Chains A and B, each alone.
Chain A
Amino acid sequence: MKRSLFGRLWPNVTAVVLFIGFVFPVYWMFATAFKPTGDIISEDPVWFPTDITFEHFKRATGVDHFWTYVTNSLIVTLCAVVLALVIALAGSFALARMRFKGRRGFVIGFMLAQMAPWEVMIIAMYMIVRDASMLNSLVPLTVFYMMMILPFTILTLRGFVAAVPRELEEAAMVDGCTRAQAFRKVILPLLAPGLMSTSLFGFITAWNEFPLVLVLNKETEAQTLPLWLSSFQTAFGNDWGATMAASSLFAIPILILFVFLQRRAVSGLTAGAVKG
């Protein structure tokens, strides 16, 4: 069966148009960040920057407390992800490998927890943190971020643990390992890709989180990068160069991680989402 020229052509043409549509905003962010201000505010857009400048990056990173924001973001995100992985690993092992009363109830519970509307619970969280006198601290942020990613992490890891053949574990136990040892020496190494991709989504969630830190931490010493990014509109007026430079810096770690880990991550995501 031969397709007509048109039949062969249109998918490719559509794909090219779509590609441009999806990439353009990302491209425009980087392009604007590197363009001299004169090229940014010109009547006709300069599509391809010819003079590269780093002045916008200097201005964006030169704001007070920039490095505080960076450190805070890194601390909160990494701690939340690691905590969630450790807690989820134990739970998901039980859910994937053991038979016990109430197992279904736990799974359903985590599924419901996964759809928790954190954005609307902010008032309650604010009151709790305030009553504990922990406003402007990184600790509440870390534990709440951990909780935001925990249900997803458990459900996704459950899929990955279930995918490791039970026979491997049994073989290890026949060879004299305890169950804990079998887990550590056999399952854990096989889980590594699963752990990586699961942590990717946890990382993105925590790195992006904006409403909670906005309400809880009013002092710059305890703020994170999303607030830094959103502050540019007001701080610099319409300084699009600095704004785009800041956006680029904020997006780069995620873009890099994502492009490298995406393929594995997707299979994990669907395993977690579709199968419950």
Chain B
Amino acid sequence: MTVQTERPPSGPVDVAKRAESGPAGPGRRAASRLGPLTPYLLLLPACAATVLLLGWPLLKDVLLSFQNLNMAQLIQHVTEWNGIDNYKEVLTGEDFWRVTLRSILFTAVNVVLIMILGALVGLLLARLGRRMRVTLMIGLVLAWAMPVVAATTVYQWLFAQRFGVVNWVLDKLGWHSMADYSWTSSQMSTFFVVTVLIVWQSIPFVAINLYAATTTIPSELYEAASLDGAGGWQSFTTVTLPFLRPFLYATTFLEVIWVFKAFVQVFTINGGGPDRLTEILPVYAYIEGVGNQHYGMGAAIAVLTILILLGLTAYYLRIVLKQEEEEV
């Protein structure tokens, strides 16, 4: 009986029978007896999956990072522990620090652009008339919905050296040296394409959510502000901005995570090239580990990457943890 109360009845017949048996059936009492355990049982599958499918790979990653694991060891299935050698090699090498700095700069530039432009588009949405707003929303949603791999391919075509639209437009605008420009030939131009792609795809999320948030601001607040003599800019800084602050924090946090992990865009556009100059941390870990078959090294880089990501998001995580504590 106790087990039955845990599971939904198997069929409609079952339901009908149980419903007839009245409110004071024995199932009730059994449920209350089981009460304290029920939430844990309900959470058990999710926790088991998390431990097995997320916890284990994480642990495995840490373990691998202390092993000398290259092609030879991989084929022969041998485990060679080598202590902190991988970390020593990674941390004393120049590459890792250069890539780390590059990743952080890349993330910062993208997130700042996304947040500022996204917020501006969001505020614009709030100001537009209904018809214009819906039109712009449709455009935003289309960009947002484009699958990343497809979007990356499209951007390669837009920025193609031959017959690419971007080069054609630049040429027509009088910038004739760009007519046959190869965007993947240098570090900055590759990053430029990746950044345009990421910003284009991320603005809609920020803009549409920000617009949705502004619609929940009570209009009394604006009325009160204008009674107090606040102008447009003042009512923006005293009403709109404070109201949107939690939302802006949360979105920035999400964007930091998303941009920092932008493996697919960077990897597909140019494979981290030219000359490995556009490798960001996830791509670096992949190319060192899988590409160059230094699996142990790759694992060490991965562990360090995770720590850096935690560091970057620590500030917001602390806020959220506190919030969650107050709420319960």
Contact between A147 and B50, CB atoms less than 8 A apart = yes
Residue of B56, B60, B148, B313 most packed against chain A (CB within 10 A): B60
> Which partner residue on chain A sits nearest B22 by CB separation?
A176
In the bound complex, how far is the Cα of B298 from the Cα of A93, in angstroms? 39
Chain A contacts of B327 at CB under 8 A?
Answer: 276
B220 interfacial contact with A, CB 8 Å: no
A123 touches B40 (CB 8 A): no
Which residues on A sit within 8 Å (CB–CB) of B209?
266, 269-270
Contact string against B for A residues 113-147, beta-carbon threshold 8 Å, 1 for contact and 0 otherwise:
10111111111111110000000000000011011
B42 touches A180 (CB 8 A): no
Are B154 and A274 in contact, with the CB atoms below 8 A? Answer: no
The answer to whether residues A273 and B250 also contact, given A123-B61, A126-B290, A175-B23 and a CB cut-off of 8 A, is yes
- In the complex, the answer to whether B282 meets A117 with C-beta atoms within 8 Å is yes
Task: From A50-58, A63-71, A208-216, give the one contacting chain B.
Answer: A208-216
Which A residues lie within 8 Å of B49 (CB)? 87, 143, 146-147, 150
B325 in complex: contacting residue of A87, A104, A230, A270, CB < 8 Å: A104
Q: Is the CB of A163 closer than 8 A to any CB of chain B?
A: no
- Indicate whether A103 reaches chain B with its CB closer than 8 angstroms: yes
The reply to whether the CB of A14 lies closer than 8 angstroms to some CB of chain B is yes
Closest to A98 in B: B39
Which residues of chain A have C-beta atoms less than 8 A from B23's C-beta?
173-176
Beyond A91-B43, A250-B150, is A143–B155 a contact (Cβ under 8 Å)? Answer: no
Number of interface residues of A (CB under 8 A): 105
Q: Which residues of B contact A233 (CB under 8 A)?
A: 153, 156
User: In the complex, which residue of chain A has the Cβ closest to the Cβ of B267?
Assistant: A211
A76 at the interface (CB under 8 A from B): no
Within 8 Å of chain B (Cβ to Cβ): is A229?
Answer: yes
Asked if B108 is at the interface of the complex by the 8 Å CB criterion, the answer is: no
**Pair B168/A44 contact, Cβ less than 8 Å:** yes
Measured CA separation A73–B22 after assembly (Å):
47
The distance in angstroms between the C-alpha atoms of A108 and B322, with both chains bound, is 10
**Are A23 and B142 neighbours in the complex by a CB distance under 8 Å?**
yes
Determine the distance from Cα of A230 to Cα of B148 in the docked complex, in whole angstroms: 11
Determine whether the beta carbon of A28 is less than 8 Å from that of B158: yes
Bound together, the chains give a CA A166 to CA B301 distance in angstroms of 48
B90: interface (CB < 8 Å)? no
A72 in the interface, Cβ–Cβ < 8 Å? Answer: no
Establish whether residues B148 and A208, one from each chain, have CB atoms under 8 Å apart when the complex forms.
yes
Instruction: Please give the distance in Å from A53's CB to the nearest CB on chain B.
Output: 17
- Which A residues are in CB contact (< 8 Å) with B54? 113, 116, 147
Residues from chain B with Cβ under 8 Å of A32 in the complex: 157
Contact size class for B?
35 or more
Q: When the two chains form their complex, are residues B127 and A11 in contact, meaning their CB atoms are under 8 A apart?
A: yes
Which A residues are CB-close (under 8 A) to B267?
A: 211
A251 to B46, CA, bound (A): 30
Partner of B7, one of A118, A123, A180: A180
- Measured CB to CB, the nearest residue on chain B to A102 is B40
Cα-based distance from A247 to B151 in the complex (angstroms): 8
Known: A26-B146, A115-B257. A108 touches B50 (CB 8 A): no
Q: Are B286 and A255 in contact (CB under 8 A)?
A: no
Check A120 against B281 for contact (C-beta < 8 Å): yes
Contact B39 A207 (CB under 8 A): no
Scan residues 167-226 of chain A and give those whose CB is less than 8 A from a CB of chain B.
173-181, 183-185, 204, 207-208, 210-211, 215, 226
Is A238 in contact with chain B by the CB < 8 A criterion?
A: yes
Asked if A240 contacts B324 (CB within 8 A), the reply is: no
The 4 A-B pairs with the shortest beta carbon distances in the complex, nearest first, are A258-B145, A124-B61, A147-B53, A91-B46
14 contacts between A and B (CB under 8 A): A15-B133, A18-B136, A26-B143, A90-B42, A98-B39, A118-B261, A151-B50, A176-B22, A177-B19, A238-B160, A251-B146, A255-B142, A259-B141, A270-B213
Residues of A with Cβ closer than 8 Å to B?
11-12, 14-16, 18-23, 25-26, 28-29, 32, 40-42, 44-45, 87-88, 90-91, 93-95, 98, 100, 103-104, 106-113, 115-128, 143-144, 146-147, 150-151, 154, 173-181, 183-185, 204, 207-208, 210-211, 215, 226, 229-230, 232-233, 238, 240, 243-244, 246-248, 250-251, 254-255, 258-259, 262, 266-267, 269-270, 273-274, 276
